[in-house]
Amino acid sequence: MLEDLLDRNSRWSSEKSAQEPGYFARLATRQSPDFFWIGCSDSRVPANVVAGLDPGEVFVHRNVANVIHSSDMNLLSALEFAVDALKIREIIVCGHYGCGGVKAATEDLPHGLADHWLEPIRRLARSYAVDLATAETEETRRDRLAELNVVEGVRRVAETPIVQRAWKLGADLRVHGLIYGLADGRLRDLNCSIGRG
């Protein structure tokens, strides 16, 4: 298993170097990605692959159900580095339909630690209960909740002192919300962008 992975890496690295001599040496000197991606850990939604981006083009943070906790040191450290050091202008919060984390948040407890992690999604489901109740199927309801989680995530990222400070200093910085369809491989803009530029 692990040997397969190492073999695949070795083949990939050789092919890449053959196609573009000096590729890795160039990439090793610095990174200047245009995007900071905050997405779900789901193996079916790898940022680089679904966005068609090469190594070096997107800075990534992923967690279960792309939840933005305003006290998450992991996320905040990545966000601060993206905004202050890498000067990234486009932040993307990306959710996906068929999200297992969102599903877990709509089920009865307990899922262990995940129930703490997913609490913001449960809260959203309570706040939008009337709206969500109009969904025809359970699946549609969860997908709508996944969209709401992205919109809320965009708002929360925009409210962080890191982003607020960047805007005060005049940075061209935007936060966008996208949702990915597992069934068709397409990213959709939820039209909830915040920011200038």
- 9/140 with CB nearer Co ion: 140
Pairing of β 194-195 and β 174-180: antiparallel
**Minimum distance of Co ion from residue 10's CB (angstroms):** 31
Q: Going by C-beta distance under 8 Å and a sequence separation of 6 or more, which residues neighbour residue 73?
A: none
**Minimum distance of Co ion from residue 132's CB (angstroms):** 18
User: In the annotation, is 192 catalytic?
Assistant: no
- Pick the catalytic residue from 11, 26, 44, 165: 44
**Minimum distance of Co ion from residue 58's CB (angstroms):** 18
Stretch binding Co ion (CB under 5 A), from 9-17, 42-50, 80-88, 112-120: 42-50
- Pick the catalytic residue from 61, 89, 94, 96: 96
Binding-site size for Co ion (CB under 5 A) equals 4
Q: Answer yes or no whether residue 90 interacts with Co ion by CB under 5 A.
A: no
Q: How many Cα atoms are found within 13 Å in the side-chain-facing hemisphere of 135?
A: 16
Q: Answer yes or no whether residue 50 interacts with Co ion by CB under 5 A.
A: no
User: In the annotation, is 176 catalytic?
Assistant: no
Q: Which two tokens stand for residue 81?
A: 């580095």
- 104/173 with CB nearer Co ion: 104
Phi, psi of 34 (to 5 degrees): -85, -20
Cβ atoms of 83 and 59 closer than 8 Å: no
The correct pick among 42, 90, 147, 152 for binding Co ion (CB under 5 A) is 42
Identify the H or E element spanning 132.
helix 129-132
Cβ atoms of 39 and 62 closer than 8 Å: yes
User: In the annotation, is 62 catalytic?
Assistant: no
- Cα 46 to Cα 30: distance, rounded to the nearest angstrom: 22
Cβ atoms of 142 and 57 closer than 8 Å: no
**Minimum distance of Co ion from residue 65's CB (angstroms):** 5
Stretch binding Co ion (CB under 5 A), from 7-15, 22-30, 33-41, 82-90: 33-41
The correct pick among 92, 93, 99, 150 for binding Co ion (CB under 5 A) is 99
User: For residues 154, 54, 96 and 6, what is the CA-based torsion angle, rounded to 10 degrees?
Assistant: -130
**Minimum distance of Co ion from residue 21's CB (angstroms):** 38
Query: Could you give the residue numbers annotated as active site?
Result: 40, 42, 44, 96, 99
